[in-house]
Structure 1
Protein backbone atom coordinates (compact mmCIF):
# COMPACT_ATOMS: atom_id res chain seq x y z
CA UNK A 1 0.00 0.00 0.00
CA UNK A 2 1.23 3.44 -0.77
CA UNK A 3 0.62 6.95 0.50
CA UNK A 4 -1.63 7.56 -2.52
CA UNK A 5 -3.78 4.56 -1.67
CA UNK A 6 -3.95 5.69 1.96
CA UNK A 7 -5.23 9.10 0.81
CA UNK A 8 -7.81 7.47 -1.46
CA UNK A 9 -8.98 5.22 1.34
CA UNK A 10 -9.14 8.22 3.66
CA UNK A 11 -11.39 10.04 1.19
CA UNK A 12 -13.62 6.98 0.90
CA UNK A 13 -13.78 6.82 4.71
CA UNK A 14 -14.81 10.47 4.91
CA UNK A 15 -17.72 9.81 2.55
CA UNK A 16 -18.79 6.66 4.43
CA UNK A 17 -18.69 8.36 7.85
CA UNK A 18 -22.13 9.84 7.26
CA UNK A 19 -22.59 11.34 10.73
CA UNK A 20 -19.03 12.71 10.80
CA UNK A 21 -18.08 11.24 14.17
CA UNK A 22 -14.80 9.72 12.97
CA UNK A 23 -16.12 6.16 12.80
CA UNK A 24 -18.04 4.00 10.35
CA UNK A 25 -20.82 2.15 12.16
CA UNK A 26 -23.82 0.09 11.14
CA UNK A 27 -25.81 3.32 11.63
CA UNK A 28 -23.65 5.10 9.01
CA UNK A 29 -24.32 2.29 6.56
CA UNK A 30 -28.06 2.50 7.29
CA UNK A 31 -27.94 6.28 6.79
CA UNK A 32 -26.11 5.70 3.52
CA UNK A 33 -28.90 3.31 2.49
CA UNK A 34 -31.50 5.93 3.32
CA UNK A 35 -29.66 8.51 1.21
CA UNK A 36 -29.48 6.12 -1.73
CA UNK A 37 -33.16 5.25 -1.37
CA UNK A 38 -34.12 8.92 -1.24
CA UNK A 39 -31.89 9.79 -4.22
CA UNK A 40 -33.53 7.01 -6.24
CA UNK A 41 -36.97 8.23 -5.23
CA UNK A 42 -37.94 4.82 -3.89
CA UNK A 43 -40.73 4.53 -1.32
CA UNK A 44 -39.10 3.34 1.93
CA UNK A 45 -41.33 0.27 2.08
CA UNK A 46 -40.81 -0.75 -1.57
CA UNK A 47 -39.17 -3.97 -2.65
CA UNK A 48 -36.28 -1.99 -4.17
CA UNK A 49 -35.69 -0.12 -0.91
CA UNK A 50 -35.75 -3.36 1.09
CA UNK A 51 -33.35 -5.01 -1.36
CA UNK A 52 -30.95 -2.07 -1.24
CA UNK A 53 -31.09 -1.88 2.56
CA UNK A 54 -30.38 -5.61 2.72
CA UNK A 55 -27.40 -5.30 0.38
CA UNK A 56 -26.02 -2.40 2.38
CA UNK A 57 -26.49 -4.34 5.63
CA UNK A 58 -24.56 -7.19 4.01
CA UNK A 59 -21.85 -4.68 3.07
CA UNK A 60 -21.62 -3.73 6.75
CA UNK A 61 -21.59 -7.34 7.95
CA UNK A 62 -19.22 -8.79 5.35
CA UNK A 63 -16.88 -5.90 4.53
CA UNK A 64 -16.81 -3.19 7.20
CA UNK A 65 -17.60 -4.95 10.51
CA UNK A 66 -14.72 -7.46 10.15
CA UNK A 67 -12.33 -4.48 10.15
CA UNK A 68 -13.36 -3.63 13.75
CA UNK A 69 -10.15 -4.74 15.47
CA UNK A 70 -11.07 -3.66 19.01
CA UNK A 71 -14.63 -5.02 18.95
CA UNK A 72 -16.31 -1.72 19.84
CA UNK A 73 -18.85 -1.92 17.00
CA UNK A 74 -17.30 0.89 15.03
CA UNK A 75 -14.44 1.21 12.57
CA UNK A 76 -12.04 4.15 12.68
CA UNK A 77 -9.81 5.30 9.83
CA UNK A 78 -6.83 3.24 10.98
CA UNK A 79 -8.91 0.07 11.29
CA UNK A 80 -10.46 0.63 7.88
CA UNK A 81 -7.14 1.38 6.21
CA UNK A 82 -5.54 -1.68 7.84
CA UNK A 83 -8.54 -3.74 6.78
CA UNK A 84 -8.28 -2.58 3.17
CA UNK A 85 -4.55 -3.29 3.20
CA UNK A 86 -5.18 -6.85 4.41
CA UNK A 87 -8.14 -7.54 2.13
CA UNK A 88 -7.05 -5.75 -1.03
CA UNK A 89 -3.50 -6.92 -1.47
CA UNK A 90 -4.08 -8.61 -4.82
CA UNK A 91 -5.94 -6.94 -7.70
CA UNK A 92 -6.56 -10.40 -9.18
CA UNK A 93 -9.08 -10.85 -6.35
CA UNK A 94 -11.17 -7.87 -7.51
CA UNK A 95 -13.97 -10.03 -8.94
CA UNK A 96 -14.48 -11.67 -5.56
CA UNK A 97 -13.68 -8.81 -3.20
CA UNK A 98 -15.07 -5.64 -4.77
CA UNK A 99 -16.79 -6.62 -8.02
CA UNK A 100 -20.17 -7.63 -6.52
CA UNK A 101 -20.42 -4.42 -4.48
CA UNK A 102 -19.44 -2.39 -7.56
CA UNK A 103 -22.18 -4.12 -9.58
CA UNK A 104 -24.73 -3.27 -6.89
CA UNK A 105 -23.58 0.35 -6.83
CA UNK A 106 -23.63 0.56 -10.64
CA UNK A 107 -27.23 -0.63 -10.68
CA UNK A 108 -28.06 1.88 -7.98
CA UNK A 109 -26.51 4.82 -9.83
CA UNK A 110 -28.01 3.82 -13.21
CA UNK A 111 -31.30 5.44 -12.27
CA UNK A 112 -33.03 4.92 -15.62
CA UNK A 113 -31.78 1.34 -16.01
CA UNK A 114 -30.32 1.87 -19.48
CA UNK A 115 -27.05 0.09 -18.68
CA UNK A 116 -25.01 3.32 -18.55
CA UNK A 117 -24.39 5.97 -15.95
CA UNK A 118 -24.81 9.40 -17.51
CA UNK A 119 -23.44 12.63 -16.05
CA UNK A 120 -26.69 13.61 -14.32
CA UNK A 121 -26.94 10.18 -12.64
CA UNK A 122 -23.27 10.31 -11.66
CA UNK A 123 -23.65 13.81 -10.21
CA UNK A 124 -26.83 12.99 -8.32
CA UNK A 125 -25.39 9.97 -6.59
CA UNK A 126 -21.90 11.27 -5.94
CA UNK A 127 -22.99 14.76 -4.91
CA UNK A 128 -26.12 13.94 -2.93
CA UNK A 129 -24.91 10.70 -1.41
CA UNK A 130 -21.12 10.91 -1.17
CA UNK A 131 -20.87 14.73 -0.97
CA UNK A 132 -18.63 15.01 -4.04
CA UNK A 133 -18.92 18.57 -5.39
CA UNK A 134 -20.66 18.86 -8.76
CA UNK A 135 -17.67 20.42 -10.53
CA UNK A 136 -15.44 17.60 -9.37
CA UNK A 137 -18.06 15.06 -10.43
CA UNK A 138 -18.19 16.44 -13.98
CA UNK A 139 -14.41 16.46 -14.35
CA UNK A 140 -13.99 12.95 -12.96
CA UNK A 141 -16.90 11.66 -15.04
CA UNK A 142 -15.39 13.02 -18.27
CA UNK A 143 -12.05 11.37 -17.51
CA UNK A 144 -13.68 8.02 -16.66
CA UNK A 145 -15.79 7.98 -19.83
CA UNK A 146 -13.02 6.20 -21.73
CA UNK A 147 -14.89 5.86 -25.02
CA UNK A 148 -16.34 9.39 -24.93
CA UNK A 149 -19.90 8.08 -25.25
CA UNK A 150 -21.36 10.37 -22.60
CA UNK A 151 -22.05 7.43 -20.30
CA UNK A 152 -20.07 5.01 -18.18
CA UNK A 153 -20.83 1.44 -19.09
CA UNK A 154 -20.35 -1.33 -16.55
CA UNK A 155 -16.83 -2.05 -17.84
CA UNK A 156 -15.71 1.57 -17.49
CA UNK A 157 -17.25 1.72 -14.02
CA UNK A 158 -15.44 -1.47 -12.95
CA UNK A 159 -12.19 -0.12 -14.36
CA UNK A 160 -12.60 3.05 -12.25
CA UNK A 161 -13.37 1.08 -9.07
CA UNK A 162 -10.46 -1.29 -9.72
CA UNK A 163 -8.10 1.66 -10.20
CA UNK A 164 -9.42 3.42 -7.12
CA UNK A 165 -8.98 0.50 -4.74
CA UNK A 166 -5.87 -1.16 -6.21
CA UNK A 167 -4.14 1.42 -8.41
CA UNK A 168 -1.07 3.46 -7.64
CA UNK A 169 -0.98 5.79 -10.66
CA UNK A 170 -0.99 9.39 -9.37
CA UNK A 171 -2.47 10.58 -12.68
CA UNK A 172 -5.44 8.19 -12.75
CA UNK A 173 -8.81 9.98 -12.85
CA UNK A 174 -10.28 7.25 -10.65
CA UNK A 175 -8.21 8.55 -7.73
CA UNK A 176 -10.89 11.21 -7.34
CA UNK A 177 -13.90 8.91 -7.72
CA UNK A 178 -15.15 9.60 -4.20
CA UNK A 179 -13.92 13.19 -4.04
CA UNK A 180 -10.79 15.13 -4.88
CA UNK A 181 -7.60 14.07 -3.13
CA UNK A 182 -4.13 15.59 -3.21
CA UNK A 183 -1.86 13.45 -5.37
Structure 2
Protein backbone atom coordinates (compact mmCIF):
# COMPACT_ATOMS: atom_id res chain seq x y z
CA UNK A 1 0.00 0.00 0.00
CA UNK A 2 1.37 3.39 -1.00
CA UNK A 3 0.58 6.40 1.14
CA UNK A 4 0.54 9.61 -0.82
CA UNK A 5 1.10 12.97 0.68
CA UNK A 6 -1.52 15.59 -0.09
CA UNK A 7 -0.43 17.97 -2.79
CA UNK A 8 0.55 21.30 -1.30
CA UNK A 9 -0.85 24.42 -2.84
CA UNK A 10 0.91 27.63 -3.56
CA UNK A 11 0.29 30.37 -1.02
CA UNK A 12 -3.44 30.94 -0.64
CA UNK A 13 -5.17 30.88 2.70
CA UNK A 14 -2.68 30.38 5.54
CA UNK A 15 -1.78 33.38 7.72
CA UNK A 16 1.81 33.18 6.45
CA UNK A 17 0.62 33.49 2.89
CA UNK A 18 -1.74 36.32 3.66
CA UNK A 19 1.14 38.25 5.18
CA UNK A 20 3.27 37.58 2.08
CA UNK A 21 1.65 40.00 -0.30
CA UNK A 22 3.70 39.05 -3.36
CA UNK A 23 3.11 35.27 -2.89
CA UNK A 24 6.80 34.32 -2.72
CA UNK A 25 6.28 32.13 0.39
CA UNK A 26 8.50 34.42 2.44
CA UNK A 27 7.56 37.40 4.55
CA UNK A 28 9.67 40.50 4.02
CA UNK A 29 10.25 43.11 6.71
CA UNK A 30 7.90 45.48 4.89
CA UNK A 31 5.13 42.87 4.60
CA UNK A 32 5.39 41.87 8.26
CA UNK A 33 5.53 45.47 9.45
CA UNK A 34 2.49 46.38 7.37
CA UNK A 35 0.62 43.32 8.72
CA UNK A 36 1.30 44.21 12.38
CA UNK A 37 0.61 47.92 11.97
CA UNK A 38 -2.57 47.46 9.89
CA UNK A 39 -4.09 44.44 11.65
CA UNK A 40 -2.85 44.79 15.23
CA UNK A 41 -2.33 48.60 15.29
CA UNK A 42 1.25 48.28 16.53
CA UNK A 43 3.71 51.09 16.24
CA UNK A 44 6.06 50.62 13.29
CA UNK A 45 9.16 50.54 15.51
CA UNK A 46 7.67 47.68 17.58
CA UNK A 47 6.76 45.76 14.43
CA UNK A 48 10.29 46.14 13.02
CA UNK A 49 11.77 44.99 16.34
CA UNK A 50 9.53 41.89 16.34
CA UNK A 51 10.49 41.13 12.73
CA UNK A 52 14.22 41.33 13.48
CA UNK A 53 13.82 38.81 16.29
CA UNK A 54 11.67 36.43 14.19
CA UNK A 55 14.16 36.58 11.31
CA UNK A 56 16.56 34.17 12.98
CA UNK A 57 18.67 33.72 9.83
CA UNK A 58 19.22 37.47 9.43
CA UNK A 59 18.40 37.45 5.70
CA UNK A 60 15.66 40.13 6.00
CA UNK A 61 12.85 37.62 5.34
CA UNK A 62 10.87 35.21 7.50
CA UNK A 63 11.02 31.89 5.68
CA UNK A 64 8.54 29.05 6.05
CA UNK A 65 10.72 27.23 8.65
CA UNK A 66 11.18 30.45 10.64
CA UNK A 67 7.44 31.12 10.48
CA UNK A 68 6.56 27.61 11.66
CA UNK A 69 9.12 27.81 14.45
CA UNK A 70 7.64 31.12 15.61
CA UNK A 71 4.09 29.72 15.59
CA UNK A 72 5.18 26.69 17.63
CA UNK A 73 7.05 28.84 20.11
CA UNK A 74 4.15 31.27 20.48
CA UNK A 75 1.54 28.60 21.15
CA UNK A 76 3.57 25.85 22.83
CA UNK A 77 6.24 27.56 24.92
CA UNK A 78 5.88 29.78 27.91
CA UNK A 79 9.22 31.47 27.27
CA UNK A 80 9.12 35.25 26.86
CA UNK A 81 12.68 35.14 25.46
CA UNK A 82 11.81 32.78 22.59
CA UNK A 83 11.64 34.58 19.21
CA UNK A 84 8.11 33.28 18.65
CA UNK A 85 6.87 35.10 21.76
CA UNK A 86 6.91 38.23 19.57
CA UNK A 87 4.87 36.69 16.75
CA UNK A 88 2.08 39.23 17.24
CA UNK A 89 4.45 41.93 18.43
CA UNK A 90 5.61 42.90 21.91
CA UNK A 91 3.10 42.64 24.74
TM-score band, normalised by shorter chain: 0.7 to 0.9
Aligned match of 2:47: 137
Report the secondary structure of 1:146's partner residue.
coil
Aligned match of 1:112: 22
Aligned equivalent of 2:79, options 166, 169, 175: 169
- Deviation per residue, 1:135-165 (Å, 9 max, x gap): 1111111111111111001110111111111
Q: Larger relative CO (CA 8 A, sep 6+): 1 or 2? A: 1
**4+ residue runs of structure 1 moved beyond 3 angstroms?**
none
Report the secondary structure of 2:78's partner residue.
coil
Aligned match of 1:122: 32
- Distance in 2 (CA, whole Å) between partners of 1:180 and 1:141 is 11
CA contact (8 A) 1:115 1:154 kept: yes
Spell out the pairing of 1:89-104 with structure 2 (5 A cutoff): 104=14
Q: Highest CA radius of gyration, 1 or 2? A: 1
TM-score normalised by L of structure 1: 0.41
Aligned match of 1:159: 69
**C-alpha deviation, 1:133, in angstroms:** 1.8
- Distance in 1 (CA, whole Å) between partners of 2:22 and 2:16 is 12
**C-alpha deviation, 1:177, in angstroms:** 1.9
Runs of 5+ unmatched residues, structure 2: 1-12
